[in-house]
Amino acid sequence: MKMWIGGTLAAAAFALAMPVIAGQATGAKAGNFRVNDATGKVIELEQFRGKTVVLEWNNPGCPFVQKHYTSGNMQNTQAAARKDGVVWLTINSGAPGKQGYMTGPEALKFVKEQKSNASYYLLDPKGVVGKGYGAKTTPQMFIIDKTGTLVYQGGIDDKATAKVADIASATNYVTAALSEMKAGKAVSIRESRPYGCSVKYSDVS
């Protein structure tokens, strides 16, 4: 299994060795990673094996992210998922000096103010995890099943706009996929085009 380490000195060496955007194949085993959360706690994807995991790429300064947070759509999606035992990892791959970058205390403030229902808010300032998963936009979503297989990647829904009014008529791909998985069905829409702001990676790759 691939292992990526973010938020440590080791991350720099990994990042330099990686292509700008590596990406993950839907239907393949998701790459493991180890990264610090906003409190400084080390979180490893592998520790959640046996549980469904959602990865959400986040940039608080992005209008598309704001659409889903100011409306409560992201928090509601998070809450519904966690009620069913899903682990929700919000990831910030913004580099220092770039839009969206946050320190641990700033991330904790965001979580509190937005009343986020994520399990953890992870900081990936070197962009190692983001590049490993091929995260291109915020928000961008990935779903990993209980066996560690990536079963969905793409946008949160089918309305690629920053308009809150479009949420009501949108198909939430994450909710739909999780519902199918809960019912023991295969995910019918496994990939979609992600939309939003570009992930603000470091200029050094």
What secondary structure does DSSP assign to 5-57, as a single string? Answer: E-SSHHHHHHHHHS-S-----TTSBPPEEEEEETTS-EEEGGGGTTS-EEEEE
pTM recorded for the entire structure: 0.90
Instruction: Kindly state whether residue 151 falls inside one of the protein's structural domains.
Output: yes
Instruction: Kindly state whether residue 11 falls inside one of the protein's structural domains.
Output: no
The pLDDT of residue 1 is: 47
What is the CB neighbour count within 10 angstroms for residue 133? Answer: 25
Distance from C-alpha of 82 to C-alpha of 106, rounded to nearest angstrom: 24
The pLDDT of residue 204 is: 60
Q: Can you say whether the dihedral through the CA atoms of 156, 68, 180, 4 is positive or negative?
A: positive
Q: Which residue has 């292509």 as its token pair?
A: 19
Instruction: Kindly state whether residue 9 falls inside one of the protein's structural domains.
Output: no
Instruction: Give the structural domain span for 101.
Output: 22-198
**Domains contained in the chain, number:** 1
Instruction: Kindly state whether residue 55 falls inside one of the protein's structural domains.
Output: yes
The pLDDT of residue 2 is: 56
Residue 94 belongs to domain with CATH number: 3.40.30.10
The pLDDT of residue 23 is: 82
Distance from C-alpha of 152 to C-alpha of 47, rounded to nearest angstrom: 20
Question: From the first residue on, what is the mean pLDDT of each consecutive set of 10 residues in the chain (205 residues)?
Answer: 46 33 84 96 96 98 97 98 98 95 97 98 96 96 97 97 97 98 97 96 74
